[in-house]
């Protein structure tokens, strides 16, 4: 597998190259770049299988790299190498793209490489990431379903329901999408959007709640009419979130 490293920091490029050359001999680093414009040139020249791409760089960010290519030309895989915050980590996870955090650790690099080697490059994942990082109103979650990957706008999700090792997503257009992950894997939605885990079985989109019933321990009624229980330890927090909206 041929690869290039794109990072404006020389020490970061040297550190990543060293780890790769010492531990992953099947990866051949054919070139490096300190900025996006030069990266575009060397991608055209070397046609690498993989690009290790920093995001926060002077001039053009790593996310803007894709703007210099037609969709038919994006046949390389990308692993983002970033020092971004927890907010951005949530964006990476929800978009299902490969990433590793600085400083690069061997275990994380191995996991990211296994991920990209098992899956084809997916332009839709990269578009979802860009939306999640740059356009708060267009945040998306990428869901691995049995027949492929489904992309959902967060604002179109009503709620999530736990079902053992599976999670069901209920949407405003009356669809139910099932994912082979536990609901705890999606608690990061709370950091990405207006979501809250109100019960061990449910995560709800707070903006899609139609009514809160205080009796019988607490219940929310969603826009589609579904009624979901609120755990006793979540009731106070739930009511606080809507305190400022009372007239």
The mean per-residue pLDDT over the stretch 186-206 comes to: 87
Q: Which carries the bigger pLDDT value, residue 85 or residue 160?
A: 160
pLDDT at 131: 73
Give the architecture-level CATH label for domain 146-245.
Answer: Beta Barrel (2.40)
The mean per-residue pLDDT over the stretch 132-147 comes to: 74
Region of residue 53 (left: phi > 0; alpha: psi -120 to 50; beta: else): beta
- List phi, psi (to 5°) of 167: -130, 135
**Residue 143 reports pLDDT greater than 70:** yes
The mean per-residue pLDDT over the stretch 177-191 comes to: 89
- List phi, psi (to 5°) of 173: -95, 25
The mean per-residue pLDDT over the stretch 185-197 comes to: 82
Q: With cut-offs at 50, 70 and 90, classify the pLDDT of residue 167.
A: very high
Strand positions, DSSP E, the chain: 2-6, 28-33, 50-53, 77-82, 98-101, 140-145, 148-153, 157-163, 166-171, 176-179, 195-199, 202-205, 209-213, 219-222, 227-229
Q: With cut-offs at 50, 70 and 90, classify the pLDDT of residue 49.
A: very high
| CATH topology classification for 2-134 | Rossmann fold (3.40.50)
The mean per-residue pLDDT over the stretch 166-180 comes to: 94
Q: What is the pTM of this model?
A: 0.59
Q: Examine domains 2-134 and 146-245 and report if their fold is the same.
A: no
Q: How far apart are CA 185 and CA 40, in angstroms?
A: 36
Domain spans of the chain?
Answer: 2-134, 146-245
Q: How far apart are CA 53 and CA 75, in angstroms?
A: 15
Query: Which one, of 59, 9, 15, lies nearest residue 34 by Cα?
Result: 9
CA angle 179, 88, 15 (to 5 degrees): 110
């Amino acid at each position: 597998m041929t690869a290039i490293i794109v990072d404006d920091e020389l020490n970061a490029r040297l550190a990543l190259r060293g780890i790769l050359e010492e531990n992953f001999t099947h990866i051949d680093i054919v070139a490096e770049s300190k900025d996006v414009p030069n990266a575009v040139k060397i991608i055209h020249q070397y046609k690498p299988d993989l690009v290790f791409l920093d995001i926060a760089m002077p001039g053009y960010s790593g996310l803007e790299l894709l703007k210099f290519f037609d969709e038919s030309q994006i046949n390389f895989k990308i692993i983002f190498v970033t020092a971004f915050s927890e907010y951005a980590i949530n964006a990476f996870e929800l978009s299902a793209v490969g990433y590793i955090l600085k400083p690069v650790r061997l275990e994380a690099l191995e996991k990211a490489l296994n991920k990209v080697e098992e899956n084809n490059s997916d332009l839709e994942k990269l578009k979802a990431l860009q939306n999640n990082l740059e356009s708060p109103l267009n945040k998306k979650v990428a869901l691995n379903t049995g027949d492929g990957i489904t992309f959902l706008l967060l604002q179109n999700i009503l709620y999530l329901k736990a079902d053992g090792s599976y999670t069901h997503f209920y949407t405003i257009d009356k669809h139910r999408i099932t994912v082979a992950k536990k609901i705890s894997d999606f608690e990061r939605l709370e950091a990405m959007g207006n979501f809250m885990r109100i019960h061990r079985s449910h995560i709800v989109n707070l903006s899609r709640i139609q009514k809160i019933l205080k009796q019988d321990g607490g219940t929310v009624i969603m826009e589609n009419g579904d009624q979901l229980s609120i755990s006793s330890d979540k009731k106070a927090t739930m009511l606080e979130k809507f305190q400022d909206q009372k007239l």
